[in-house]
Structure 1
Amino acid sequence: MDLQIEDIRSKTCLYGFKCGVSELEKFAKKAFRSHTRETPDYRVRCLYDLDAPSASALGYYSLSIKIPQNGEMPVGERTIYTGDRAFLYIDHLAVRNEEKKKGYSSWLMVDLLDAADQFMRRFGRIDYLSLNAADSDAHNFFRDKWGFTQVTSEAHPLLVLERQRVIEVMEEIARRAEGSGG
């Protein structure tokens, strides 16, 4: 397999996308249109197998920049976003049902964290990478594997990864790649 992550290629690469979470499946239908607007709502990137005869994506993620309404976002007992600061939001991350348990979510996360790191370094007013976990599997994946912190206790809890932690994770990934010769 020759895997590559790149911007979404066409409106058909996520055709028939099934991952077991209806919200993620619905977004897949409109992902290309959302990504290719003059002012896109989301950055959508897909994982492709370049050796496969099909142009279908194995998985995807979407990332957006959010600016809190009224300049702040209270979360529980504290306010985590204030003033003129923005945050990156992982709107979606999904892998096709038949492609699960192959490590593709982690491939997508490395690319996503790299994009987040670049955004944060380029635009200094972004302090957090955040998401609302769709289910307990997603919650555990982001918290246990990537170090996100849960800041709310609702059904789909808000999880955040602070700017410094994004940078540290990317530095660790780079060290591992150097150590393995990759």
Structure 2
Amino acid sequence: MSQPVSMDDIDRQIITALQGDGRRPFNQIAEELGIPASSVRYRTRRLEELGILQVVGIANPLAIGFDRLAMIGIRTAPGKARTVCTALAALPETSYVILTTGQFDVMAEVICRDIEHFTEVVNDQMQAIDGVVSTESFFVLEAHKLAYGWGVGTVPGPAEAEAPAE
């Protein structure tokens, strides 16, 4: 995992604004923050290049013909979890792949057209990855919250988190 990048309060406010509306004009954000639009543009580009920020359009998979959403718990052979994560991340059906602790070494979210597609992804692709020992599927029946704006403006940066208490 990469080291945290130094961000200031302006960077956090820009991220928060774009999490609320990724198509928001830079000049509107700049006006709210009291800085030039060129600064917002530069900072946004820098955050994107550093891999901190990604502005994308997110579609509701159920509304565009994908009928099966599932979380898959994956147990791996010792020392293979990271390579399994890399292989899973390359699958177009995975939207979320994480290295975890607990009962599973890896968790992955998959989005599939139907049960046949889901079966192919799990049986033919995931379980064929070197290092995968077993999988356990959890179908999503209802999504009660899908949030992407997790409040970066309230998360202290590394320098703030380490500041001594007075």
Q: Indicate the TM-score class for this superposition, using the shorter chain for normalisation.
A: under 0.3
Instruction: Answer with 1 or 2: which has the greater Rg.
Output: 2
> TM-score, with normalisation over the residues of structure 2?
0.27
Query: More strand per residue: 1 or 2?
Result: 1
> TM-score, with normalisation over the residues of structure 1?
0.26
